[in-house]
Amino acid sequence: MAIAMLLDNPGGSQEIYDQLRKRLDLDRPVGGILHVAGPSPNGGWRVIELFDSQEAASRFLKERFAPVYREVAGSGEPPVPQFWPVHNYMT
């Protein structure tokens, strides 16, 4: 079952996002389905990702995203994502 992830980063920016993407060497959505990113309405940066499964999401965040985020952002832990099961999506 597909799983959606919302990641709000109040301290994020397009610059940090672009550095993360470059360091992660991403050329397609990590979850294989959909990736959307842009400024958050509350300030900072927002990412929405559709993953093939909760396991795929957890593995990416732990093994790839978190270490690179710490290097690029220079401090602290990555933002805590919110997950929910996807009933339907259209591309």
pLDDT score for 90:
86
pLDDT score for 29:
75
pTM of the full structure: 0.88
- Mean pLDDT, 10 residues at a time, the chain of 91 residues: 93 93 84 89 94 92 93 86 94 76
Residue 51, helix vs strand vs coil: strand
* Cβ-contact 43, 12 below 8 angstroms: no
DSSP state of 64: I
pLDDT score for 63:
92
Q: Sign of dihedral through CA atoms 69, 21, 85, 11?
A: positive
Residue 87, helix vs strand vs coil: coil
The radius of gyration of the chain's CA atoms, rounded to the nearest angstrom, is 13
